[in-house]
Structure formats: C-alpha cells, structure tokens
Amino acid sequence: MNGPQDLGGQMGFGPVRPEPAEPPFHADWEGRVLGLTLCAGALGLWNIDESRHARESLPPAIYYNASYYEIWLRALEALLAHHQLVSAQELAQGAAEPAPAHPRRLDAAAVPAVLATGSDYLRPLTTQPRFRPGDRVRARNIHPRGHTRLPRYVRGHTGVIEAAHDGFILPDTNAHQRGENPEYLYTVVFDGAALWGPDAEPGLTVSVDAWEHYLEPA
C-alpha cells in the first residue's frame, strides 16, 4: 500500500540525528513493547508480514507522530483485536478475566533458543527463474492496496539484476493470510540518475530486493 511507511525519497523530515552511546531502550516501556510483540507473535496467529502491514496501516498522522515502539504497540493492539485475542472492552478497561496459559505461550526458558533460531524465509523453487544477473528489468508501475515490499521510488524505473536469489515467501500474500506463494528474489540495482534525475548525487547506485512479479523485462 502507498502508506506512511513508504518513505524513500520523501522530503521534510529534517536532519538525521545520531545519538552517541545510544542505549538499547530510552524508556522501560520500549523494552516491554519489544517483548510483548515477540511473545504475541510466538502464538503463531500472524506472521512478520502481517505485523508490518498492521504498522503501515496506522493513519499517517499517527504513524509520523509516533516513536517506533509506539508504532509497534499500536499495531500489536490492532493485531490482538483483529485476531480476537483481546477485546476492545478489555483494552479500554486494561483488565481481563484470568485464563490458563495458552498452549503456544512463549516461556522464558525457551526465549534464548527461539531468538537464536529465527524463521527461515527461504522456499527453494524448482521452476526456472525468469531473470538472470545482468538482465535489464523495469520495476512495474503497480499500486497494490494491500501489503507490498516494492517501494514507490523505484516503480517504473529501469535497473539491472545484480543477484538472483532462491525463492522467498511473498509478503504480498503472506501478509493477508493468502499463502506463502514463494517467488524468486532479485537484487536490482538502479542508477541514482535513473531514480532522481539530473540532480542526483554523483556516483550513486541504489538497490532493492524485489520478488519476481515486481519486475518486467526492459
């Protein structure tokens, strides 16, 4: 979706402000939100793509005013409500009736192994890839209403396949519980001038990782 998350090339957000010796968290609640998000995700009712879509579906005015952990918290509340794990009334009251532990509740003892394992997003394919390194391709001019990982700033522009990877889960369907539908993934390199015109900075190239159906021969 052409939502608030699709920031590449936008203007007006001011300077980047590095923070020397930045701590992992700036307030206790940020760590709790990280933990809540990972623990709730471990219940298995949604995947990482659906999580990202919940975040980008926040209204733009809220998204841009929120810190990143606030975005995570609001998206988590939305996912919990959508999957009927928490009711609007419970959220409003901050209270709930006690219940026994969910069978997939992430226990503290399992945390190190779960974090050190992660999730495998590769899905090797037996079909022939459509493109090969060196091929010229155009990022399609598409504007899906749902989740996608093709940023607007490359759509319609021509680049070169630098690397052809194996199949990866397709976020566009996985985010909406319409299946993994793995496709070949490619690293596509664009010249700065192709993306940004004559005022592009000198010597700039930008790459994105694009699923096969995001691309067409150029």
Partner 1 sequence: MPHDHHDHDNHLDPMEARTRALETILTRKGLVDPAAIDAIIETYAEKVGPRNGAQVVARAWDDPAFAEWLARDATAAISDMGFTGRQGEHMQAVFNTDTLHNMVVCTLCSCYPWPVLGLPPVWYKSPAYRSRAVIEPRAVLAEFGLTLPESTGIRVWDSTAELRYLVIPQRPANTDGFTRDALADLVTRESMIGTGLPRVPA
Subset of 98-127 contacting partner 1 (CB under 8 A)? 98-102, 105-108, 110-112, 114-122
Task: Decide if 70 contacts 54 (C-beta within 8 A).
Answer: no
What SS3 class is residue 159?
strand
Distance CA 81, CA 166 (A): 35
Residue 190: what residue type? F
Pick from 79, 160, 161, 208 the residue near partner 1 by CB under 8 A.
208
E strand or H helix at 124, and its extent? none
* Residue appearing with tokens 């759509």: 155
If the CB atoms of residues 18 and 217 are measured against partner 1, the closer one turns out to be 18
If the CB atoms of residues 121 and 135 are measured against partner 1, the closer one turns out to be 121
56 binds partner 1 (CB under 8 A): yes
Termini Cα distance of the chain: 24
210 binds partner 1 (CB under 8 A): yes
* Residue appearing with tokens 């409003």: 92
94 binds partner 1 (CB under 8 A): yes
Task: Decide if 77 contacts 54 (C-beta within 8 A).
Answer: no
Distance CA 61, CA 119 (A): 32
Residues 15-44 within binding reach of partner 1 (CB under 8 A): 15-19, 22, 24-29, 31-36, 38-40, 43
Least distance between partner 1 and beta carbon 69 (Å): 8
209 binds partner 1 (CB under 8 A): yes
Residues 132-171 within binding reach of partner 1 (CB under 8 A): 149-151, 153, 165, 168-169, 171
Q: How many residues bind partner 1 (CB under 8 A)?
A: 99
In sequence order, which residues have a C-beta less than 8 Å from that of residue 119 and are 6 or more positions away? Answer: 48
69 binds partner 1 (CB under 8 A): yes
Pick from 134, 198, 203, 217 the residue near partner 1 by CB under 8 A.
203
Least distance between partner 1 and beta carbon 88 (Å): 12
Pick from 46, 50, 58, 76 the residue near partner 1 by CB under 8 A.
76
Nearest by Cα to 9 from 141, 155, 113: 155
67 binds partner 1 (CB under 8 A): yes
